[in-house]
Structure 1
Amino acid sequence: MRGRARLGFADGTVVVARSHGQGMFGVLARHTADGDVRPGKVVLRDEWIELELVWPGRRMVVDVLGTDQAD
Structure 2
Amino acid sequence: MSLEEANRENLNFMIETLADKMQVVNRSMLNADDFDMDHYYDIKELYDIVEMKGQLSVSEIQAFVAELSKYRKG
TM-score with structure 1 setting the length: 0.36
TM-score with structure 2 setting the length: 0.35
Higher normalized helix content (fraction of residues):
2
Higher normalized strand content (fraction of residues):
1
